[in-house]
Each structure stands twice: as structure tokens, then as C-alpha cells.
Amino acid sequence: MTFGEDWGWGASKEESRQMFDCYVENGGNFIDTANGYTNGTSEKIVGDLIQSDRDRFVVGTKYSFPTVRGEPNSGGNHRKSMFRSLEGSLKRLGTDYVDLFWLHAWDFSTPVEEVMRALDDLVRSGKVLYVGVSDTPAWIVSRANMLAELRGWSPFVALQIEYSLVERTPERDLLPMARSLQLTVTPWGVLGSGVLTGKYNNAPPSPAKSEEHTGEKVERRLDALNSQKANTQNLKVAGVIAQVAKQLGCTPSQVALAWLRTRPGSIIPILGARRLDQIRDNLSCLNVTLSEEHLRQLDDASRIELGFPHDFYADPVRRDRLFGGTFSRIADRRGP
């Protein structure tokens, strides 16, 4: 999303190339973009960057959000939007296939059967190798993959969600589902809109921005969203992260990313850097090892209530009754 300056705050083509080169030099090969990121410029930049060695890279792009405002068929999850979006993405990327095609967000209008059948058609055509789903409730993803399994269609192989030390609610249903269905998870918002970098702790309020230009309007909306994330609880979490970072001699961003890499299941954080120094800092999380004490401190600061039915099942009295007093003697058990 940060490749391109169309929205008034992203990276130039040259800065994008520098970040891409740094990523590749460090072994990176998975790239996440979307048809609407920076009005299509992101896909064009990615296409130019991968052109010399296309097959080395695992390229994922998305469809769902409208590309033309006021035109309903340019967005949504339905077949027309899906096929139209993919053809546009292939042209901008300069390739004849994408490795991973994401449904970007559930529209609560298109039948799940239509979505899964249409995605399977794209896989069978050779234009898409795998399909994934983003920003969609767990019960819909589960139903979609069960339909795919029963009807011999291509299932979702990956799940994209917001997940970080200040957004742990996916631990209630989305992440347990992903582990059960063996979906790889690619979290976005991994630094909590910048909150987990520590930049909002003790920072003065941002001055009001003019809304004269479109880019400035977008930037102002982003600032508003970020300030919502910078609430008292989240700043407290950021403070604990900063303390751990100081103990380890690294940056808060690296601690936040290292924490994600300790989570159960297959998790690949999406890095949304805007500058070369940021991507270098983010990649250095690979050199950070969190101790059990560090993990405890981070968990204590950011823990959420799982709620019903998770707490219901975890209650030792109910569990003892459910298993007739034999729970502790069961070696191979599933669930909490």
C-alpha cells in the first residue's frame, strides 16, 4: 500500500525500488498488493520490480473494493467484479498470472457459493495459482472452505487480518480457525498504525492539516485513525514494548514484530514501510529473540478477554465434568 504517492503519503518509485532491493537482498520473495492501492500505481511499481525475475516472487493481489466510485460493478465480491479486477491487475503487474489472489473484504451480499466457484474457475484457467481471504468473519471462511472441500473447488489457503499487540481480538475465533484449517496468516497493521513504534508516547498533538488537496485529505483521515489507536491502553502497551526494546538493545518496532513471530501457527507479518530505513529496521526483527519473561510482560500488558464460549470451555470445573474427571489423563486432545 505504501508503493506510490497518489494518496499523498506513500513512497516514490525510486524509494519503492530501494525498499524492494533491500527486501530481496535479505531473502524476501512474498509481495502483497491490491488493485486499488494508490489507485493502481502500487501494482504498476510491483510489476516493474519483478519483471526481470518474475517466477522468483510470490505475488499476491486483491479484489473487492470499487475502482470507480459510483459504479457498483467495479467492486464487491461477485463474479463480474472478480474477473474484471483480475484482468486489470494482470495488465498493471505485467504478468499472465498471480500466485495468490485475495478476496479483500466480505461484502455480505454475494453468495459464498458464487465466490468459491468463480475463484475456482480462475485457478483452473491458470491465471491464479492460489486463493486467500482477507477481512472476513471466521464463520464465513469456514463455510467457504467446507463448500470447496465438498465440491472439489480450490479452498482458501491464507487469511489476512489485522493483528498486533494492540489488536488481539482475532485470537477469539479467526486465529484458532486458521490453525484448524491450516491457513497461513498474513497480519496487517502489525505496528498498530504506528502506535507500537512508540512515536505517540509523550508526543504533542498533531497540528490540523489543510484539506485543500486530495492527498492531504487522505493524510488527515489517516492521522485521525491513528489517533484513535493511540488511546490510553494502547499507549500503555507501547510503553511496555519500549521497555523490552531497551532491555534488548533494539527498537520497539522490532519487538512488536518479533512477538508476532512467536505466535502459534504459520504467521507472515506484512511490512508497510514508507522509507528504506524503516524496512531495514523491520527486517532486523529476525535478529531479536524474546525471552519467556519478555513474552510474559507483553502478554500481561496486551491480553484480552476471550469471552464466551472460550472462557466457558476453559473453566476447570466444567471441563472436569465434561470429561468425567479424566481430562488430565488425555494425551491427545484438541481445543483449549
pLDDT in tens, 160-189: 999 999 999 999 999 999 999 999 999 999
Q: Is the pLDDT of residue 319 over 70?
A: yes
pLDDT band, very low/low/confident/very high, at 211 (cuts 50, 70, 90): very low
Q: What is the mean pLDDT of residues 49-61?
A: 97
Among candidates 96, 141, 103, which has minimal Cα distance to 119? 103
Provide the grid cell at 316.
476447570
pLDDT band, very low/low/confident/very high, at 51 (cuts 50, 70, 90): very high
* pLDDT score recorded for residue 202: 73
Among candidates 307, 292, 322, 1, which has minimal Cα distance to 134? 1
CATH architecture of 13-318: Alpha-Beta Barrel (3.20)
Q: Is 310 helix (H, G, I), strand (E, B) or coil?
A: helix
Q: What angle do the packed helices 41-50 and 79-93 form, to 10 degrees? A: 50
* pLDDT score recorded for residue 333: 62
Task: Fill in the DSSP letter of residue 27.
Answer: T
Which residue out of 23, 37, 63, 200 is catalytically annotated?
Answer: 37
Q: Is the pLDDT of residue 335 over 70?
A: no
* pLDDT score recorded for residue 52: 94
* pLDDT score recorded for residue 280: 97
Q: What is the mean pLDDT of residues 313-331?
A: 86
Q: Is the pTM higher than 0.75?
A: yes
| Mean pLDDT across the chain | 92
Looking at per-residue confidence, does 228 or 21 come out higher? 21
Q: What is the mean pLDDT of residues 46-67?
A: 96
* pLDDT score recorded for residue 294: 98
Contacts 24+ apart (CB under 8 A), 14-23: 15/274, 15/275, 15/276, 16/45, 16/49, 17/45, 17/49, 18/276, 19/273, 19/275, 19/276, 19/279, 20/49, 22/276, 22/279, 22/280, 22/283, 23/271, 23/279, 23/283
pLDDT band, very low/low/confident/very high, at 206 (cuts 50, 70, 90): low
**Percent of the chain scoring above 70 in pLDDT:** 91
What are the structural domain ranges in the chain?
13-318
Q: Is the pLDDT of residue 147 over 70?
A: yes
Is residue 37 part of the annotated active site? The answer reads yes
* pLDDT score recorded for residue 229: 74
pLDDT in tens, 80-103: 999 999 999 999 999 999 999 999
Q: What is the mean pLDDT of residues 11-28?
A: 97
pLDDT band, very low/low/confident/very high, at 291 (cuts 50, 70, 90): very high
pLDDT band, very low/low/confident/very high, at 67 (cuts 50, 70, 90): confident
* pLDDT score recorded for residue 165: 98
Among candidates 105, 271, 303, 274, which has minimal Cα distance to 189? 271
pLDDT in tens, 221-280: 556 556 667 789 999 999 999 999 999 999 999 999 999 999 999 999 999 999 999 999
**Percent of the chain scoring above 90 in pLDDT:** 81
Q: What is the mean pLDDT of residues 293-310?
A: 96
